[in-house]
Amino acid sequence: MKKTILAAIAVSIPCIALADAATDAVKARQDHMKGFGKQVGTFAAVAKGEAEYDPAVAQAAADMLVELANADQSGFWLEGTSMDDLPGVSYAKPALWENTDQVTAIMADLQAAAANMQAVASDGKDAMVAAIGPIGQQCQACHKEFQAKKD
């Protein structure tokens, strides 16, 4: 009996470590996405008239958006971290891992849109507002296809 219990513990410890790594990866990518949302929120607030346009603030948000878009995200999208694997923790649909070419293309388009925003963010409110659309389109393209609705 003692050997059975010890064997069960020995087998479960790596599983717990893997579950923690998977959960950590999901939390890291969720925090990364919140960073995207914060920067886009800066632009959206100006576009909606909820905040005054400030070229320095717009440029800082654009610079951070580019940094986030170009950051290595490979540790965030581990196999075994979909909503099926971690219900209630992850909202990423399994289709994300089945369509990596599409995901890569969306990310490349987001990087280009972020770079465009970076180039025009401090050129005036109209230029900044015009650059929001392509960013939002890429966010929506990925979320619509690969993110489940949260409860």
Q: Residues marked as binding for heme c?
A: 139, 142-143
Beta bridge partners of 92: 147
Nearest 10 degrees: Cα torsion 145, 91, 132, 141: -10
How far, in Å, CA of 112 to CA of 94, rounded?
26
Tabulate helix, strand, coil % of the chain (nearest 5). 70, 0, 25
Rounded (5°) CA angle 96-97-103:
50
Residue entry with tokens 């990925």: 142
Annotated binding site: 139, 142-143
Angstrom distances, CA of residue 14 to CA of 4, 9, 10, 11:
17, 9, 8, 6
